[in-house]
Structures are given as C-alpha cells and as structure tokens.
Amino acid sequence: MSKECKELSFEEIKQHNDRQSTWFVINNDVYDVTTFLNEHPGGEEVLLEHAGKNATEAFEDVGHSTDARERMAEFKIGTLVAAERTADIPKKNTTEWSVPGPDAPESSLKSWIIPVALGLVATVAYRLFFMS
C-alpha cells in the first residue's frame, strides 16, 4: 500500500501530539507537520494545539490560501479510517456567488430604481445647466 492511501485511526493519531511528532486531521486526511512547525507562517503553537486531533474547523476558520492548500499535500501521510470520517467542512475562502432568480423578493424593484433615478437626475441637471 502506498504512503498516501494508508488508513489511520484517531487511536494512532492521538499518540502524535507533541513537537517530536505532530499529526492532525484536516477534512479526513491525516497530516504529519513535524518538519513544518518552524516554517508555518501562522506559528508552531497553533499547530501544536491541534496535534493528535481533528484540526479541520480551525484550519478552515483561518481561511487558508490556495497556496497553503497546495502545500498541505507535502505533509499528507494518509486518510482517516472510514468509520471515523466526518462530512467535509466547506472551504471558507471560496466565495459562493449567487444570482437572485426572477422570484427573488425585491430584486427586480431594487435593480430598476437606482438606474431610473440616476437617469432622472441626469436629465434634470442637463436641462438646468445646458438648456437655460
């Protein structure tokens, strides 16, 4: 079995909870960040706080960049055993855009009032300044 698909349980992960060996779980994947402690831009303390635990929520709360997410791959040592997996927490730094549908309350009203009002103001101003 390759290193990437090793299945690990919290029973084993929680033994790695100090700077000698720092493991945690993010989105059901297991990371060994022992060699990254000194390098982590957010400092080693936050990583050690989550050592041996599930760090998913803390990791997502920070809103890590795509760059940070790409770096994670270097430290992945396995995945959580199926029985201990939880539903993924959606990424915080991916903004979800939604366009209001035709039934969205007030949407059509609001989108008309401003341009129409601006048009009226412009017409009045034009007449006042250039047609007098």
Structure tokens at 52: 């041996």
Q: Which residue of 5, 20, 45, 67 would you call a contact of ligand HEM, by CB under 6 A?
A: 67
Name the residue nearer to ligand HEM (CB basis): 45 or 106. 45
Sole window of 2-10, 40-48, 102-110, 120-128 interacting with ligand HEM (rule: CB under 6 A): 40-48
Q: How far is 13 from 80, CA to CA, in rounded Å? A: 9
Contacting range for ligand HEM; rule: CB under 6 A; set: 44-52, 96-104, 112-120, 124-132: 44-52
91 contacts ligand HEM (rule: CB under 6 A): no
Q: Which of 21, 65, 86, 111 binds ligand HEM (CB under 6 A)?
A: 65
| Total residues at interface with ligand HEM (CB under 6 A) | 19
Q: Which residues would be at the binding site for ligand HEM (CB under 6 A)?
A: 31, 33, 40-42, 46-47, 50, 55, 58-59, 62, 64-65, 67-68, 71-72, 75
